[in-house]
Amino acid sequence: MATIPNSLVLKISGAKIVLPINYHSGNSVKTKLLPNPKTPIASTRKTSPIYRPANTTRPLQQIKSSHMAAQIVDSADNRISRISSSIRVIPDFPKPGIMFQDITTLLLDPNAFKDTIDLFVERYKDKNINVVAGIEARGFIFGPPIALAIGAKFVPMRKPKKLPGEVISEEYSLEYGTDTMEMHVGAVQAGERALVVDDLIATGGTLSAAIRLLERVGVVVVECACVIELPELKGRNRLGDKPLFVLVS
């Protein structure tokens, strides 16, 4: 890694920016070129068997004296780098051969968790989203904070028999067999604009079932949003014409 004592060189969206550093005294921030946020997780990151302690007292903006430098620290690239490094990979879960992407370690870092939500909120707050649909159970962790921040309602999409009252169901394929997803009748109205949220997209089966449920009642699915994508499983292709937005791929 290059050490850059007097200036900060960053690549942001292809532009190269050189800035003097004015750091708040007492903080030492490592300067380095930021990693490509699209780097595949499994091939470049070490498995972290222990949890990093959450640094709850560290302010999100460490640089107070330089406004432009503060913007750089809070850039999307910087936040994605922290988010990506907070995700833990567990080999052979739930069965041999699968490298499980564990977001619970992200939730243990309040700054990384906040950054995750902020990145989604920044993208969707001006898109007139009325509904955030979250897929049980990890979609329940990311969906509600987004919904609250953008003023949308939150609709849980659940496994069978969990939702009380009248539901509509959609079946979807698993590797072996099928599963069913349910949504409450009356939760959404025709013409509403929806965002579908889950922690991760793998084959895209669950997300495409959620899209079908919403479209069956006349909702416009604007986009699907996940923290993580496993691109080799080509889930993106199962979403029809619906765009997918992810933070880490």
Which parts of this chain interact with other proteins (CB under 8 A)? 49-51, 53-54, 56, 88, 90, 93-94, 100, 102, 104, 107-110, 113-114, 117, 136-138, 140-142, 144-145, 147-148, 151-156, 158, 161-165, 184, 187
- To the nearest whole angstrom, how small is the minimum distance from the Cβ of residue 4 to other proteins? 31
CB nearer to other proteins: pick between 5 and 151: 151
- Whole-angstrom distance, CA of residue 244 vs CA of residue 19: 34
- To the nearest whole angstrom, how small is the minimum distance from the Cβ of residue 197 to other proteins? 12
CB nearer to other proteins: pick between 69 and 129: 129
Which is catalytic among the residues 58, 88, 136, 138? 138
User: Is the Cα dihedral 5, 6, 9, 10 positive or negative?
Assistant: positive
DSSP 8-state assignment for residue 94? S
- Whole-angstrom distance, CA of residue 38 vs CA of residue 116: 15
- To the nearest whole angstrom, how small is the minimum distance from the Cβ of residue 60 to other proteins? 10
* DSSP track, 142-171: HHHHHHHHHT-EEEEEB-TT-S-S-EEEEE
- To the nearest whole angstrom, how small is the minimum distance from the Cβ of residue 19 to other proteins? 29
CB nearer to other proteins: pick between 132 and 222: 132
- Burial class (CB within 10 angstroms; exposed 0-12, middle 13-18, buried 19+) of 198: buried
- Whole-angstrom distance, CA of residue 202 vs CA of residue 194: 21
Which is catalytic among the residues 52, 82, 166, 175? 175
CB nearer to other proteins: pick between 110 and 231: 110
| 215 is an active site residue | no
Triad 122, 152, 218: Cα angle to 5°: 115
CB nearer to other proteins: pick between 32 and 153: 153
Rg (CA), the chain: 20
| 175 is an active site residue | yes
* Nearest in space to 246 (alpha carbons), one of 233, 192, 30: 233
- To the nearest whole angstrom, how small is the minimum distance from the Cβ of residue 108 to other proteins? 5
- Residues with a catalytic annotation lie at 138, 175
